[in-house]
Structures are given as structure tokens and as C-alpha cells.
Structure 1
């Protein structure tokens, strides 16, 4: 169920399907999510790369007035998509020691985990990405503020497609996600996205869990 549900499946729904106690269903689902996170590869590779950010409420039940966009109080998440491998890596971007979110150094640190320096990097116009130019990357931008979304192959549409799936899942399937477990949910959606064309998605995960 967890591997096949595009928008995710909650512990409540698993509880209804298999019966038993809700506590058992909750533990089982979180064990599966942890296994999904362990499967993800972070080897730096040369590729055409897209990097973009999204913002989510770690606890949607809490009503907090927040700005839109990059001034928001929501939790920032960074996604790095490898076009050559059709794979995405996504992680929470914690504020730095002075409380700054999504600094250039922070974004660069995330990028370096999954992409080598000779990669081609696609971003939008967010100024924190200017660090890529200073560090000598082949950096190509699309300017969303001027209503550009794709030009000569430059875009971050694949990451944005993943954000759309992830956000719909959070709202539609889970309703309330604790910040403590947010990365586990990200790993679940990442694993499912990366293996969406693999008919053996379930068996590969099962093999990982029993090792």
C-alpha cells in the first residue's frame, strides 16, 4: 500500500485496511519510511541538475499567519533532481546558526551531496543561487519573476512536479505532519517518485528492510 499510493497513505488508512491496533499500524508505516530513506543514494554524480525549494507547514493543524514565498514561516525543503538518472533528492533545509534560511552556503552544501562540480545546474533567479557562479559552476537560470518557466531546456519543472505531488499528499492523505517526522515523509515520497517506473518497487524495499 505504501509503495503504490502516489499521494501517500496514512497510518489511519493502513489501520482500517489491516485492522489490529492503530499504534501497530503507525509504527509499521514509520519503519517503512525509515527504510525508504536508507535506500536513497547521495553519491555526487555529473549530470544536468535542477534545484528548487518548497515550503510546508510541519503542523498544518496549527493556524499561523505566514507570508507567502521565501519570507514565509513555513519549513523550507530543498529538492535536487538529476535529469540523467530521473532521480530526486529532497531534504529539510534547517536555518543556520543565525537563523537564516536558504543561504547560498546551505544550498551549495546540499547540492554537493548529490552533484559533482562539473554538472550543469538549473535554478530560478533566487539570489542565494548566485554562489554557484562565484564557485565556478555551469549555472543556468530561469527567471520566474518575468514569467519564464522554460527556455532552451533551462527549467526546474521536474522538481516542481515533485513538489506538487508531495504537497497534495500532505494535505490530502496526512492532514497533520509533525516536524519531528517531516523528513520521513519526504523520504517516502522521494522513494516512490524515484521508483515509480520500477515494477519491483515493493520487493526492493522489502529486501532492504529485512537485511
Structure 2
């Protein structure tokens, strides 16, 4: 029997202990090498792009000779205006990617010894940076499409005579949402959140190439796909794969997000469901990549991503 990738030596190339033992100076050097990899760690002014930069002696920052702009290794990135030591951000990225099915904010706050609010925003900033990889990506070739309903649980009444049919619309909360995923075979995964699967057809038409072959189940709302793509259907009441059509890779993504909900997050609410689904898509796409490579990919994505308009000052706006 073949060994699972996650328990093989190839899956382990990162030591959390080494990251945690870094000094602030070592962490800044690591950030500098990751952020400015194209110039071999030589800082580049984020304001004007000038390479004529020198380090300040009074504090760990740089001054641009061209525009006199002062900046640090995190200036202009999603970690801008930081208050924690630089090492803690590297450690947060390492802890975040080291989990297979997600890392909840409560556990992250305990690992970093910070407030829950700090860990919550920090985790969402990392999710935003990772999601930017596929923001404008379109899929082609063999693409599987399916939907998974999340949330909107209605707790049944205590006494049997007071219980209602929770399947009926008038007895639901209205918070239930569906994650519709488009997954290219041997490619990337794109999840989107809608109120119903039928609302996703227009988005599928925008993000999937016209010459692609789409695989879907027998749900009636996927009938519209036949007018746009070569569409193959599978009836799950009879089989999960018939040699022609199959949505097993889409189901694999749903399995991951359901295990994340059950074992880590416990509740995926509407406003943040899209962020969590994009995180799980990234984890699914990088499931055969070692944790060290995932760490470098995530750190590079965070340092290449601009300041977050959604999460910068999030709690100050909310209070």
C-alpha cells in the first residue's frame, strides 16, 4: 500500500521551532529576502521603485535616496502598520500553513499569545493574500462543477409536538448559503458563494473557457450549462463515476471544507464564508506541496499583497 503524502518525509520541510527561535534581526532578513527576491534581498522603495536605498541607523527601516520615503520590510504590504514583532508574523504564517484543514483564530491566539481579535484579523489577512493568487484566473480543459450548502442550521424544538419541517422555506433562517466550486482537473480550484446553485451559472460562464468540458451532476439548474459548454452529467443516485462524467474532485474539496467546519471552525458564517472557502481551495490545490514550500508561498503572497482595505482597522470600524 502506497504511503500517504502527509506522513511521508517529503511533506515535512519546515520546523516551527526554528521559526520561533529566530531573533527579530533574523526575521527581518528573512522578510527582506522573501519580499525582494528578484533583487536578492536588496530593498526597493515601494513608493517610487528606486533601488537607491540605505538603512537607517536609529531604527530598523530604510530611506529612499530618490524620494526620501522611509519604509520597513512590511511597509505597503498586508502586514503594514504592524504592532507585533516581525518574527511573530513569520511564525503566524508558519502555523497557519502547517495545519492541513485550517487554523482557527482561538488556537492561533493561544499559539502567539495575542488577543483573539488580533489573531482573527491576522488569519483573515493571510487568507486574503492567498486568495489573490486566483483572483483573475480562468479555468479550461476538464472542469468539475458542484455545490455544497453550508450554515443556516435550525435547532429542532425540545418536544416532538412543537417540531416543524425544517426543509420548508418558511421554517428556515435564510442564512443558508451554497459554495459552488469550479475545479479544473490537474489545475486550480475556484469557489464562490451564492444563495442557490442556479445563481452561479453566469459566474461559471465568465470564469470557465468556452471550449472547456464541464462535468456536473443531474441537478436541474445545471441544464443551462449545455447551451454554453460541452457538458457531461453524472447521476449520483446510480454512481459517482461512470467513465464519462465525474465530480469527485469537487467532492474532495467539499470534504475538506466540511472537515474544517466540524473539526476547527465549528461555524462558518455568511460574511466570512467566501474567505474560508478560498482558503480551503488553496489548501486543496497545495495538498501535495511540503509545508516548507507552502510557508514560502504564503509569506511571499502576504508580502506581495497591498494593504487590506477590508481588514486594516477592522475592529476600530466595528466598535
TM range (shorter): 0.7 to 0.9
Alpha-carbon distance in structure 2 between the residues aligned to 1:43 and 1:178 = 26
Q: Give 1:50-199 correspondences, 5 Å limit.
A: 50-57=144-151, 63=155, 66-67=166-167, 74-85=176-187, 87-94=188-195, 101-103=196-198, 106-135=199-228, 137-145=229-237, 147-199=238-290
> Could you say which structure has the greater relative contact order, defined with CA pairs below 8 angstroms and 6 or more residues apart?
1
Q: Secondary structure at the match of 1:44?
A: coil
Structure 1 residues 66 and 5 mapped into 2: Cα distance closer, same or farther (>3 Å)? Answer: farther
Q: CA deviation at 1:186?
A: 0.8
Deviation sequence 1:127-176 (CA, Å, 0-9, x none): 111112233x211100113x221011411011101101101111210112
Q: Secondary structure at the match of 2:126?
A: helix
Partner of 1:98: none
Alpha-carbon distance in structure 1 between the residues aligned to 2:121 and 2:128 = 11
Q: TM-score, normalised by structure 1?
A: 0.84
The farther-off stretch of 36-45 and 4-13 is 36-45
Structure 2 alignment gaps of length 5 or more: 1-94, 157-164, 305-319
Q: How many residues align?
A: 195
Alpha-carbon distance in structure 2 between the residues aligned to 1:6 and 1:195 = 10
Partner of 1:5: 99
Alpha-carbon distance in structure 1 between the residues aligned to 2:249 and 2:135 = 18
Q: TM-score, normalised by structure 2?
A: 0.57
Q: CA deviation at 1:109?
A: 1.8
Kindly report the root-mean-square deviation, in angstroms, between the aligned alpha carbons of the 2 structures.
2.1
Q: Secondary structure at the match of 1:144?
A: coil
Q: CA deviation at 1:113?
A: 3.5
Alpha-carbon distance in structure 1 between the residues aligned to 2:267 and 2:227 = 40
**Where has structure 1 moved over 6 Å in runs of 4 or more?**
none
Q: Secondary structure at the match of 1:2?
A: helix
The farther-off stretch of 36-45 and 175-184 is 36-45
Q: CA deviation at 1:110?
A: 2.2
Structure 1 residues 113 and 3 mapped into 2: Cα distance closer, same or farther (>3 Å)? Answer: farther
Q: Secondary structure at the match of 1:177?
A: coil
